[in-house]
Amino acid sequence: MKKTVIALLASLTVGASVWAQTPPQDIDLPTLLDWVHDLSPRLAIERQSVEAAQAERLSAGAWPNPSLGYTQSRQPGTLTNFSSARAREWTLEFPLLVGGQRGARLEAAQRAIDAARARVSLSEQDLAADAALAHVHLLVAQERLALQEEGLSRLQALREIVSSRLASGLASRYELLRFDVEVASGRQNVADAHAELLQAQSDLASTLALHDWHPRALGSLRALAEPAEEAQESVAADHVSNLAVQLARQDEALAGAGVELARRERWPAVSLNVARFWTERPYGATQSVGATVELPLFDSREGALGKALAEARSATLKRELIEVENKRMRQQHAQTLLLRHRSLLRFEEDTAQKLGTLHQMAEDAYRLGKGSVLELLDASRSNLQIRLERVDMIQSVIEARIRLLVTRSQLVGAWGHGAERGSTQGAYPAH
């Protein structure tokens, strides 16, 4: 009892310290995953299930308490025990676990602890995946905002060119008005991108149950999309590496232990009885030893065994289903990652060099009077749109990689501390 109280107080102290801390505002993915593992309030709550299961094991290992009874009788008649006026008796009853119930209870309790730990590990992985996706979304929102701001600056610079040409009589007021409309649209795009950034910050803070945290994601989107060796590896590996499969196996073992416990609990209850009876005036005493055996005439506990058997069959079917589903998902995510990664490489190879040249050609043609303002605007829009599309493609590659790593339970190992960090880099020129 004392150990249980101490453990409870310690867990409450740890929980309070978790809620009191806040991660750094500038955070990269490895640091974020460390935060999820060590200081997430949600996981701190989840881990209490392990504490509860360990407390249940203490109860399962305890022997049944004996029962002590005492009776005092007044005997007014003449035909009484030993012709006495008063009689007393005490009895002591020791319940006996003759059917191996204690061992079965301990085994079931240990299986429950293992299942609770596996469930916490799976919850940690799911939370880490949510945090990783939120971190990637924040990186994308930051990159999109930077591109929109850069696009707006480019439009403003081009407007100055048009304004100079108008002052020289080489451009019309329509051309300047057309750019004014485009600049206004660019400002709105920047405002929308900033709103998306605020939402991404809120989503990341929400994954860690923090209400007053406005993070800035550090890292390289392109680096997170490389390498893609996970897509090339065989997906026929053993399922034991997957936490969902491990949990299903632990639940199956727990259900099997429940069946054995139900069988053991069907044994009739047996008790050893020790008693002493004595009288006064005159004094007389007897001692007795006996046993009490339950007669299972009405309840043989067949229902509890049937329920345990049904739960065991259900756990086995669930484990088989999860194994098949996990293998299918691993194949699907591996193929998706491979296709999206190849598509990204082709996109970059086909457009990275041509995009800057296209924009420069349109600007030079307009300066020389050989191109129209519509061609200049089209080149500017294309430059921005294609760069935004590239960011979306990188995001899709990273998300596919995260999902594949989750099916293999390798997310933290792939992006723990030591993973590549750095500022966001783009493959396109800044024209």
pLDDT at 232: 54
% residues pLDDT > 70 (the chain): 80
The number of folded domains in the chain is 1
CATH of the domain at 253: 1.20.1600.10
In a domain, 405, yes or no: yes
Structure-model confidence comparison of residues 210 and 143, the more confident one: 143
In a domain, 256, yes or no: yes
Cα 76-79-81 angle, rounded to 5 deg: 85
pLDDT at 99: 87
Q: Is 169 left (phi over 0), alpha (psi -120 to 50) or beta?
A: left
Nearest partner of 422 among 8, 25, 28, 56, judged by Cα:
28
In a domain, 420, yes or no: no
pLDDT of 128 > 80? The answer is: yes
In a domain, 369, yes or no: yes
In a domain, 21, yes or no: yes
Sequence-distant (6+) residues with CB within 8 A of 105 are 60, 61, 261
Q: Which domain holds residue 115?
A: 2-62+97-266+301-415
pLDDT at 369: 60
Reported as a pLDDT band with limits 50, 70 and 90, residue 117 is: very high
pLDDT of 77 > 70? The answer is: no
pLDDT at 322: 92
CA distance 94 to 96: 6
Average pLDDT, the chain: 82
pLDDT of 126 > 60? The answer is: yes
User: What pTM value is reported for the model?
Assistant: 0.78
pLDDT of 118 > 90? The answer is: yes
pLDDT tens digits for range 6-32? 444 444 444 444 445 778 899 999 889
In a domain, 86, yes or no: no
In a domain, 279, yes or no: no
In three-state form (DSSP H/G/I as H, E/B as E, the rest C), the secondary structure along the chain is CHHHHHHHHHHHHHHHHHHHCCCCCEEEHHHHHHHHHHHCHHHHHHCHHHHHHHHHHHHHHCCCCCEEEEEEEECCCCCCHHHCCEEEEEEEEEEECCCCHHHHHHHHHHHHHHHHHHHHHHHHHHHHHHHHHHHHHHHHHHHHHHHHHHHHHHHHHHHHHHHHHHHCCCCCHHHHHHHHHHHHHHHHHHHHHHHHHHHHHHHHHHHCCCCCCCCEEECCHHHHCCCCHHHCCCCCCCHHHCHHHHHHHHHHHHHHHHHHHHHHHCCCCEEEEEEEEEEECCCEEEEEEEEEECCCCCCCCHHHHHHHHHHHHHHHHHHHHHHHHHHHHHHHHHHHHHHHHHHHHHHHHHHHHHHHHHHHHHHHHHHCCCCCHHHHHHHHHHHHHHHHHHHHHHHHHHHHHHHHHHHCCCHHHHHCCCCCCCCCCCCCCCC
Nearest partner of 334 among 346, 324, 326, 345, judged by Cα:
326
pLDDT of 235 > 60? The answer is: no
Lowest mean pLDDT among 32-46, 237-251, 314-328: 237-251
CA distance 296 to 158: 94
What is the pLDDT averaged over residues 86-107? 90
What is the pLDDT averaged over residues 203-221? 88
pLDDT at 147: 92
pLDDT at 242: 87
In a domain, 181, yes or no: yes
Peptide bond into 282 cis (omega under 30): yes
